[in-house]
Amino acid sequence: MSTAGIVVVGNEILSGKVADSNSTYLCRELRALGVDVERISVIPDAIDVIANEVRAQSAAYDFVFTSGGVGPTHDDLTLDGVAKAFGEPLVLNDGLAARMQRAQGTPPNESQLKMARIPAGAVLLDSGDLWFPVVVVKNVHVFPGIPLLLQRKFESVKERFRGIPFRLRRVYLTRRESDIADVLNAVLADFPDVQMGSYPRTGREDYYVMVTLESRDEDYLQRSLDVLLERLPEGSIQRVE
């Protein structure tokens, strides 16, 4: 089963000026594709920090996704960091420069050419109807920080990551978590390969706890769900999804 790490780059995220939604989106999409996200790092716009984190995640996971730091300004340093992570120089990609000129109708200026300098040996994946491709260095996939652009780019290349997806069941309960903890522990002991989550809610009148069960094995998941429903206190189940 494939694993992934996510590197979110940006001082604006660490300062709280901008809320990160990209890692949430990637986690949700990758989960549906059958990829386990095992780490999310939020780091500043610093070449050495980017290089160290990218290098570590590249060695640890099958796929790495970066978000942010790929624009034309002084603090867009992700590609510099990825290049340093693998000891590659940044080189001007003539094909990217030509794409820029076609997209805007005029030759790119020096700031725009910054976005066409990519690590030597990088692979370019066309990203749907967007002129700028996804840059891939080894197993590292470089995405922009603007959520709409990241989503459109990911949507265009996501099938290359598809594996065996997780199946999910949700059980909404009208009892508090402390009332059903023993049941959850017992079911998990009988079905150790199911991934179980228990999420209490406050301020809700319809249910107190949502329990999730996940597995790539549909039959195993259904059997664990049947046992859970059988063991829960009578009248405690609000609904099952």
Residue ranges per structural domain of the chain: 3-161, 167-240
Using pLDDT thresholds of 50, 70 and 90, give the confidence band for residue 1.
Answer: confident
Position 220 scores a pLDDT of: 97
In CATH, 3-161 is 3.50.50.60: no
- Contact present, 18 and 10 (Cβ < 8 Å): yes
Q: Which of 10, 16, 70 is nearest to 44 (CA)?
A: 10
What is the rounded average pLDDT for all residues in the chain?
95
Fold of 167-240: Alpha-Beta Plaits (3.30.70)
The order of strands in the sheet holding 123-127 is 36-43, 3-9, 63-67, 140-143, 130-137, 123-127
Q: What is the pTM of this model?
A: 0.90
Position 202 scores a pLDDT of: 80
pLDDT tens-place string over residues 165-199? 899 999 999 999 999 999 999 999 999 999 999 99
Tokens 């997209």 — which residue?
A: 103
- Please state, for a pLDDT cut of 70, what percent of the chain lies above it: 100
